[in-house]
Structure 1
């Protein structure tokens, strides 16, 4: 999996904002708190890079040494590694094994949320991967 390093800003009581030095024009925010920033940023990367060639992703140390980023860091910003994965747009059947009681709980929870088992498990996987 590829990670892009984001520069996170917040001024006063404003939302957290993030931009990616290696992905010009891609930015995101989280108005409700820092916990929402990582999934929002990952989604922004996926949407911004959809059908685009992937730019090189520098290491955190390389991004940190960038002159503009260093200036942001001096101003109170911090860095965040954001996972990127490209969805293919096609589904693949998978055979999984789990405890029968857990599978029953998965099915009940999925049904209560109006989802299929597959949609529920895929959503859980995306959220776990993103953090």
Structure 2
């Protein structure tokens, strides 16, 4: 029996941990703070109507995007995993928009034809 074959140690690969710099997390926290201040400023300045809701939704989506990209590590994931997580909500929004258009059309048709065309 070959003594050298039994005493060799098998090289076990070390687990690779990716450490992100603290500067990245601090930058994201600062941006989240700035975007939150912007959301509060929309209320303080008393924007109204579509501008108000457009700003609120835009700021909300920016904050959600930062959180998903950095804190949920989606920025470093494979493209297939990103698509698996991000595509379904986008499709749901598309279907909701389609239903809203259909609902408006149906309401218009009912008003036009059931009220004698007035």
Scaled by the length of structure 2, the TM-score of the pair is 0.24
More strand by share: 1
Say which structure, 1 or 2, has more relative contact order (CA 8 Å, 6+ apart). Answer: 1
Radius of gyration: which is bigger?
A: 2
Scaled by the length of structure 1, the TM-score of the pair is 0.23
